[in-house]
Structure 1
Amino acid sequence: MDYIASLRQHVGHAPLLMPCAGCAVLDARGRLLMQHRADGSDTWGLPGGAMELGESIEQTAVRETLEETGVRVRPVELLGIYTGTPHMFANGDVVHSVVTVLVAEPVSVNDSFASTDESKGIGWFHLDQLPANLFEPNRAIISDLIAGRRGTWT
C-alpha cells in the first residue's frame, strides 16, 4: 500500500499537505508530453504525483512519469515549485500540494502504452497547440514553461 493510501485510512478525506513531483517532458521537436487524466475530469495534464517515503524529488518525478505515460525520462533542470488552492478529487479527498516540476527529456518511449487507472492516454503537443481542456492546476506551470521561466515558485 502506498503512503497516501495508508495515511487516508487514518484521516479519511481530511485535507493533507502533499509533496509531489512531476515532469514537463519536451522531445527533440519541442513537443510537450501530456496525459489524458483518468480521474473523471476529462482534462489533459502533466505527469506527476505524490512522493513515496524514502524517495527524492527526482525519483518521484521519474517514477510518476513512467507510471502515467510509459515514457522513461532524464530530468535536465528545475522548472519550478508550485503551491496554490486546495484540490478536491472526485472521491472527496482534499490536498494542498507542494509540486516540484522538472523539465525532462525522453530517454525511451513505450509505443504500446495502454491506459491505466491514472491515464486514459498520452499525447505529444506543440506548445502553441495544447488541448483546450487543460488540468487547471497545470496552467501556471505550462505558462512558465512556454515563457522560458525557470526556478519559479508560488
Structure 2
Amino acid sequence: MTASLARRRRASKRDAMPALRPISLAPAHGLLARARLMAAAVVAALAASTGPGATQAAGETPPVHATTAALRLALGAETTVVLEENISTGYVWRYVDQQGDVGVRIDVVDLGHRRRAGTSANVGAAGLHRWHLRAAAPGRCELRFVYERPWERQPVRMHKLVVDVR
C-alpha cells in the first residue's frame, strides 16, 4: 500500500467519524440559564394575565371590567362616543341599550370600526369603534356598551355612559 493511499484512507475515516473532543458548557450555561429565566417569566406573565382571552377554569365566568362616564348635553346637541377595540382578537364593542327617565331619548348611530389614525394596517393593530349620539328629548339616561366576542355568553368589559340632557 502506498503512503498516499494510506493517508486517503485515514482522511476518509476521520471525515466519516469525527473525533470526540471535550467541550466546555460553562459559557453556554449562562445563556441557557438566561433563556430558561426568560421562558419562566413569559409563562408567569401569561398565567397572571386577566385581559380578554385569559384562560379560565372550566365553568368559571370571567370577571367583567366595568367603566362609567358622565356626559351633559343640551337638547339637540350631538357628540361621538369612541371606544378602543381590537377586532383581530374577535372582541368588538356593541351598543346594548339605554335606560332612564320616561321620555328621555338619545339617538344612537353606530359608525363602526376604524383603525387609529397614524397607525399601520397590520393584523392585530387596535382600532376605534365610534357611535354618533344626538340628544333628542330631555332627561337622564344610561347607555350601555359591551366588549365581547359575539359567540361567547359573557362580555369581558362593559362601559356605561350616563347622559344628562337639559
**TM-score range for the pair, normalised by the shorter chain length:** under 0.3
Relative to the length of structure 1, the TM-score reads 0.25
Larger radius of gyration: 2
Relative to the length of structure 2, the TM-score reads 0.24
